[in-house]
Structure 1
Amino acid sequence: MDLIASLLLIALLIAASAFFAVAEIAMAAARRLKLRQLADLGEHRATQVLAVQDAPGHYVTVVQIGLNTIAILAGIVGDGALTPHFAAALRWAGVGEERLGGLSLALSFLAVTVLFVLLADLLPKRVGMNDPERLAMRLVGPMLWLSALFKPVVWTFTRAADGLSKLFGLPQTRDDRITHHDILALTAAGTLTGAVHSSEQQIIENVFELDTRTVESAMTSRERVVWLAMDDDEVLLRTRVAEDPHSTYLVCGEGIDEVIGYVDATDMFARVLREEPIGLRACGDSGLIKKVLIVPDRLTLAEMLTQFRQAHEDFAVIVNEYSLVVGVITLNDVMSTVMGAMVAPHDEEQIIRRDDGSFLADGVTPIPDLERALDIAEWPHAGQYDTLAGFLMVMLRRIPKRTDTVTWEGWRFEVMDVDRHRVDQVMIAKVS
């Protein structure tokens, strides 16, 4: 066989091997969500690809039979077709007969191997990875035809492979369950490519965190709650509302733990415009004071949304196991947690990055926010706290004081300000 015929035969084997390589990688990399969209639009080839992905046994068998058969043929052809030409070239170069046979065989093997690795494996698989859905749909027809053509052989190998899989306890079908980790990985990849904005990625992460964050991470804490007493006179009520304007006010008895209900600021303003009294005790039977939703402090934000929806409310009081009020939460607080910096003004950010790379954080900063800012995956005594202040208390085993420090995962947490046992500000710097 002359050199041209040998090269043409090897090129044909490379093309056949590249066909099977592309068919294999395209089918494995094709995204089921995109294929389902194409199938819903009437693309029958997408339906065929989905069917193969659900039961890939025959398809994979055909691919492996083709690849291995071509590999064996390539070895035989390369040895018989290229070795004589390499031997002639080496003889012309003055190589002795005693080394001629081994060296020409080695060069033939190396040439065929390089050609197949580059042109029949690496390049086809890279092409298949770039556009897997389109290529999988284009090749599924010929591959199904080959499956039918070699059905007896394919059936034999498939049954043998199924038996070995059962023997070793391997799964028989592909697991296509999509977890929230998969979705977050996709959004992270989209952010790197520019298809997803970083703020949009943050929103998606925050949505999944609703199942893990407790209401304490988004509530207005007890000491910050503006509440009205039943016995407050109208002058005091007007002054308090004017100094601390809110949409909703908690109504209590002698103390904040004696919860009676809540009032809407709009209802109070309406009574003022109608020149009616706004004294809470005098208006007790007028419907101004409404029944308040009370929830435990261990609820997650996702459970809180369910409570709001079932009660048709957007305001709730949070109590601990001793029935003491620990804070209040609104629907807007939950949604602000989801939207993050897109809706929160700069002066309300709980953790701020400084020019030197350190951070200044509020004591009530939720742990998930710290995880993202500091890139800390694991925290000590996880589950015993929800905020930065709780982390410091657990680590110090006491109420933090000014200048107290804690070091964790290469970060130094220094308490900068404490307001009546409340951790107000914490400086977080990288440990050199």
Structure 2
Amino acid sequence: MTSLPQVFALFGLVLLSAFFSAAEISLAAASKTRLQSLADEGDRRAGLVMELQNHPGQFFSALQVVINAVALLGGIVGDAAFSPFFSWALGSVVPEANLKHVSFALSFLLATSLFVIFADLLPKRLAIGRPEAIAMRVVRPMRIIIRVLRPIVFVLERLSDACIRSLGMPTKRQETITSEDILASVGAGTAAGVIAPQEEAVIQNVFELESRLVPSAMTPRENIVYFTLDESEDSIRAKIATVPYNRFLVCDKDLDHVVGFVDSKHLLRCVLEEKPINFRETGLVQPCQFIPDSLTLSEVLDVFQRTHGDFAVILNEYALVVGIITINDVMSTVMADLVTTSDELQIIPREDGTWLVDGSTPIDDLEHALGIDELPEDSAYETVAGFMMYMLRKIPKRTDKVTTNGFAFEVLDVDNNRIDQVLVTRIKTVQDAPAED
């Protein structure tokens, strides 16, 4: 029959091996960012875990020594624990000549199954679910084991470091977080229902500030309402009443000769005090901030922060005005649908599965709405109108069409060579087409 002390010894070895398996996977999977946060909160164990992660050679060397030692002992004890039982149970069935070999094979299978399930798979699956918590629980016992096995660990660590260096790989763990990692985590959170889709869009827009140029968020030239230095007071009042802007450019004869800007509240004060509006008077017109159209939205925010401003005129390489931008424009780009009203939507989904798109829509917004990674040569244009002109290689006319990336883009309306609206239709593939009877 089975020796009970040997059975208890085997289960003790299984538990010991389970501890080392959990320690191995938890310290390898623990996030350095979360550990740093816990360390900042005063948990010293988090700092000890990060110290082991920074010097993984000592940890893994000691771990492999004890894991292999426990595995060897488990094989020896398992054979001694179960072989007598199988010899007794199978003595009347298996011939005497083969009984010893059969008992050994069954003992080996049973001991191996115990180690695989309870000393490897189960503890590792539990540890991968909460790696930081388990790593902090096992870190101090592991440090004691490392100290006890220091001479062996020292030799093994030097040998493993030499092998790793010969392969051109780093000997220390490099914890780098990229924007792709963050967006992937946010996408996983959205899929799990933890993060709302609108919140995910805001986070994506924040990271895109580094790549989106100012034309994607500006008020374009054709929509700018401005005054001239010699404009009549009646015309000024009519424009103020028609367009509820906070600021108006003041120009010398035309838009490409900007003198400055005037705040609508100053104009309102003149009206209430029944004073004449004269842009040539000192103090009414304020100087403008000028920026090139090659800046990204992130760089525009830096400019506003340095100059303590929130309004700028955008110039192209020929010093011509192409638009204006405010800090609200940048924030609206980030917040997207959270602050956009139905009247301001540039991309309108329709019930038939098509999209009605304004020609001035930034191409990045269209790519997001359609789920397209990127349109052809999308660095060569900023808006949907620019995309159509680039693809058609001409000034588009009504009904002109472009097909790419599984979508058809058709010009619906053109006003003085300016594309007002584009109809976007998904092209049905063979799989999408309804089956015929």
Both structures adopt the same fold (TM-score exceeding 0.5): yes
CA distance in 2 between counterparts of 1:301 and 1:139 reads 47
Number of the residue aligned with 1:180: 179
Number of the residue aligned with 1:411: 407
Say whether residues 1:60 and 2:56 are aligned partners.
no
SS in 1 for 2:380: coil
CA distance in 2 between counterparts of 1:402 and 1:58 reads 71
Number of the residue aligned with 2:268: 269
In the TM superposition, residue 213 of structure 1 has moved relative to its aligned partner by 0.4
In the TM superposition, residue 251 of structure 1 has moved relative to its aligned partner by 1.4
Number of the residue aligned with 1:202: 201
Say whether residues 1:330 and 2:349 are aligned partners.
no
Identity of aligned residues (%): 47
**Cα distance change, pair 86–409 in 1 and its aligned pair in 2 (3 A):** farther
Say whether residues 1:365 and 2:361 are aligned partners.
yes
Amino acid at match of 2:295: L
Number of the residue aligned with 1:28: 28
Say whether residues 1:246 and 2:235 are aligned partners.
no
For 1:148-159, what aligned pairs fall within 5 Å after superposition? 148-159=147-158
**Cα distance change, pair 401–80 in 1 and its aligned pair in 2 (3 A):** farther
SS in 1 for 2:203: helix
In the TM superposition, residue 242 of structure 1 has moved relative to its aligned partner by 0.5
Amino acid at match of 1:317: V
Number of the residue aligned with 2:303: 307
Pick the aligned partner of 2:290 from 287, 294, 319.
294
Say whether residues 1:424 and 2:420 are aligned partners.
yes
CA distance in 2 between counterparts of 1:430 and 1:96 reads 74
Q: Deviations over 1:241-276 (max 9, x none)?
A: 111120011112222222221111111001111111
**Range with greater deviation from structure 2 (318-327 or 306-315):** 306-315
**Cα distance change, pair 419–142 in 1 and its aligned pair in 2 (3 A):** same
**Cα distance change, pair 397–139 in 1 and its aligned pair in 2 (3 A):** same
Number of the residue aligned with 1:392: 388
Number of the residue aligned with 1:38: 38
In the TM superposition, residue 121 of structure 1 has moved relative to its aligned partner by 1.8
Amino acid at match of 2:190: T
CA distance in 2 between counterparts of 1:217 and 1:425 reads 17
**Range with greater deviation from structure 2 (189-198 or 358-367):** 189-198
CA distance in 2 between counterparts of 1:36 and 1:147 reads 23
In the TM superposition, residue 185 of structure 1 has moved relative to its aligned partner by 2.5
Number of the residue aligned with 2:12: 12
CA distance in 2 between counterparts of 1:379 and 1:113 reads 56
Number of the residue aligned with 1:355: 351
Over the aligned positions, Cα root-mean-square deviation in angstroms equals 2.3
SS in 1 for 2:171: coil
CA distance in 2 between counterparts of 1:327 and 1:196 reads 35
In the TM superposition, residue 130 of structure 1 has moved relative to its aligned partner by 1.9
**Cα distance change, pair 115–359 in 1 and its aligned pair in 2 (3 A):** farther
Number of the residue aligned with 1:344: 340
**Range with greater deviation from structure 2 (4-13 or 412-421):** 4-13
CA distance in 1 between counterparts of 2:419 and 2:102 reads 78
Kindly indicate whether the alpha-carbon contact (under 8 Å) linking 2:27 and 2:132 is maintained by their aligned counterparts in 1.
Answer: yes
Query: Between Structure 1 and Structure 2, how many residues are aligned?
Result: 428
Amino acid at match of 1:347: D
For 1:272-283, what aligned pairs fall within 5 Å after superposition? 272-278=271-277, 282-283=278-279
CA distance in 1 between counterparts of 2:363 and 2:72 reads 58
**Cα distance change, pair 73–362 in 1 and its aligned pair in 2 (3 A):** farther
Kindly indicate whether the alpha-carbon contact (under 8 Å) linking 2:74 and 2:111 is maintained by their aligned counterparts in 1.
Answer: yes
**Cα distance change, pair 98–143 in 1 and its aligned pair in 2 (3 A):** same
Gaps of 5+ in 2: 429-437
Say whether residues 1:229 and 2:223 are aligned partners.
no
Q: Deviations over 1:166-196 (max 9, x none)?
A: 1111102111222222222232233334443
Number of the residue aligned with 1:134: 133
Say whether residues 1:189 and 2:179 are aligned partners.
no
Gaps of 5+ in 1: none
**Cα distance change, pair 111–388 in 1 and its aligned pair in 2 (3 A):** farther
CA distance in 1 between counterparts of 2:284 and 2:418 reads 34
Say whether residues 1:402 and 2:408 are aligned partners.
no
Number of the residue aligned with 2:146: 147
Kindly indicate whether the alpha-carbon contact (under 8 Å) linking 2:7 and 2:78 is maintained by their aligned counterparts in 1.
Answer: no
**Cα distance change, pair 252–57 in 1 and its aligned pair in 2 (3 A):** same
Kindly indicate whether the alpha-carbon contact (under 8 Å) linking 2:229 and 2:279 is maintained by their aligned counterparts in 1.
Answer: no
Number of the residue aligned with 2:49: 49
Amino acid at match of 1:338: V
Q: Deviations over 1:353-412 (max 9, x none)?
A: 333443222222223323322222233224212222222222222233322222332222
Q: Deviations over 1:190-218 (max 9, x none)?
A: 33344433333222221111110000000
SS in 1 for 2:402: strand
In the TM superposition, residue 329 of structure 1 has moved relative to its aligned partner by 0.9
